[in-house]
């Protein structure tokens, strides 16, 4: 039993209560994509130090911290879309940066406190430019594919308002649907980032969220004519959207 009581209304934090997003858009017009299936997230804030010792310190060290950068390490499961072979967009972005040089090797990321219960910590969120190293963690004959990722900050990080909303963008809405002629459709709207289910004429189909406004889905075999599309996230299900297959 703890002899010193905590204030009423407190809860013990959990190790998994953090989010890390990659910007798939422009810096001024970001399109934030959460890194899904992440584990082992370990952020640090490396200091830049300057020696300010004088005779008054009588030979003792005296350093100021002039800036703080951002660094982190984590692992992520490598999920892919069966129809195209592509990994999730955030994994594709990480691998592309890890294989590149110059500006192509730099990612724009943000991190934030993401609690299961209660209000997110407004002071535990930031944005930074980082370079990336990635390597396969599991190399056994029967292991799941997992990447080990390390991020190294470029310059100081920027404190930001915590963006986490437990219900994301609310119940999803569908504004438009477009087909690519190859059995895939692109669904645009809102609340798409954490989509858990897409149905076409009540048939659950394979899908891949691209960002908060877009999810792509695989058409079921034999679908023709007018079909009813419904998208579901943690907040609920969208209204059915009628789309005509050509």
CATH of domain 173-245: 2.60.40.10
Q: Long-range pairs for 170-175 at CB < 8 Å and ≥24 separation? A: 170/235, 171/233, 171/235, 171/236, 171/237, 171/238, 172/231, 172/232, 172/233, 172/235, 172/236, 172/237, 172/238, 173/238, 173/239, 174/229, 174/231, 174/238, 174/239, 174/241
Task: Choose among 44, 120, 55, 132: nearest CA to 95.
Answer: 132
pLDDT in tens, 179-230: 866 788 999 888 887 788 999 999 999 998 887 788 999 998 888 889 999 9
Query: How confident is the model at residue 210, as a pLDDT?
Result: 83
Q: pLDDT tens digits, residue range 45-82?
A: 999 999 999 999 999 999 999 999 999 999 999 998 88
The residue-averaged pLDDT of 158-162 equals 93
Say if residue 156's pLDDT is above 60: yes
Percent of the chain past pLDDT 90, that is, above it, reads: 60
Q: What is the pLDDT of residues 110-126, one digit of tens each?
A: 999 998 878 889 999 99
pLDDT attached to residue 170:
72
Q: How confident is the model at residue 22 (pLDDT cuts 50, 70, 90)?
A: very high
């Amino acid at each position: 039993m703890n002899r010193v009581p905590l204030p009423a209304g407190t809860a013990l934090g959990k190790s998994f209560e953090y989010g890390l997003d990659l910007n798939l858009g422009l810096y001024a017009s970001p399109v934030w994509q959460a890194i899904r299936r992440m584990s082992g997230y370990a952020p640090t804030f490396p200091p830049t130090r300057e020696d300010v010792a004088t005779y008054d310190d009588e030979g003792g060290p005296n350093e100021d911290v002039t800036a703080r950068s951002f660094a982190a390490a984590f692992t992520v499961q490598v999920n892919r879309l069966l129809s195209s072979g592509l990994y999730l967009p955030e994994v594709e972005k990480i691998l592309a940066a890890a294989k590149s040089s110059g500006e192509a090797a730099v990612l724009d990321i943000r991190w934030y406190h993401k609690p299961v219960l209660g209000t997110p910590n407004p002071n535990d969120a930031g944005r930074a430019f980082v370079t990336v190293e990635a390597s396969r963690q599991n190399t056994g004959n029967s292991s799941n594919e997992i990447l080990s990722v390390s991020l190294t900050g470029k310059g100081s990080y920027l404190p930001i308002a915590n963006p986490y909303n437990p219900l994301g963008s609310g119940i999803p809405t569908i504004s438009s649907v477009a087909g690519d002629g190859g059995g895939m459709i692109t669904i645009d709207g809102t609340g798409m980032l954490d989509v858990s289910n897409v149905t076409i004429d009540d048939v659950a189909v394979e899908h891949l969220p691209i960002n908060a406004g877009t999810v792509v889905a695989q058409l079921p075999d034999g679908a023709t004519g007018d079909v009813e599309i419904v998208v579901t996230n943690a907040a609920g299900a969208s209204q059915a959207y009628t789309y005509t297959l050509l």
